[in-house]
Amino acid sequence: MAAAERRDCGALATIPAVFKGIEHFAIASPNPKRLADWYTANLEFEVTFEYAGNYFVQAANGGLIEIVLAEGERPESGYRTPGLRHIAILVDDFDAAYDQLASQGVKFEGEPYTNEGNRLVFFKDPDGNLIHLIKRSKPIG
């Protein structure tokens, strides 16, 4: 959206949007190269930028993940622990994506299921970050 509508003193005004969206998010990894390689080999991401041992990997739809060197130990976390919970990977052909990941040795956290018409399955990357495939029945937002 090129402009945002905002109520100001009771009047409707059109102003340029200041915040354009999520440009990237970062994952701290004990081995950024290994994790970047995993995303490229398993999820068809591409390394688009590297600096000082950190990597930007990009999905086919343009989504970016920055992978940086971790410091310290990873705390234990569960599905509802406060903080970032999962990375959702959008697919057009759920069964083909699932079969491809299974053939690459990805271990799933359960069986695929349907929720409100969407197909989902969870798995983890080599660092333990929770990921899920999703095939949406209709776009949201």
Q: Are residues 65 and 104 in the same domain?
A: no
Confidence of residue 74 (pLDDT cuts 50, 70, 90): confident
Q: Which pLDDT value is given to residue 2?
A: 45
Residues 53 and 106 in one domain: no
Q: What percent of the chain has pLDDT over 90?
A: 73
pTM attached to this predicted model: 0.84
Give the model's pLDDT for residue 1: 43
Number of domains in the chain: 2
Give the burial class of 108: count Cβ atoms within 10 A of its Cβ; 0-12 exposed, 13-18 middle, 19 or more buried: middle
Query: Same domain, yes or no, for 67 and 106?
Result: no
Classify residue 78: in a domain, yes or no. no
Residue 132 in any domain: the answer is yes
CA distance 50 to 55: 5
pLDDT in tens, 79-107: 777 878 899 999 999 999 999 999 999 99
User: Residue 38: phi, psi to the nearest 5?
Assistant: -65, -45
The model's pLDDT over 27-60, given as tens digits with 9 standing for 90+, comes to 999 999 999 999 999 999 999 999 999 999 999 9
Looking at the domain assignment, is residue 14 inside a domain?
A: no
Q: Is residue 16 part of a domain?
A: no
DSSP codes of every residue in 103-126 = HTTPPBSS--EEETTEEEEEEE-T
Nearest to 134 by CA among 102, 83, 92, 103: 92
Q: How many residues does the chain have?
A: 141
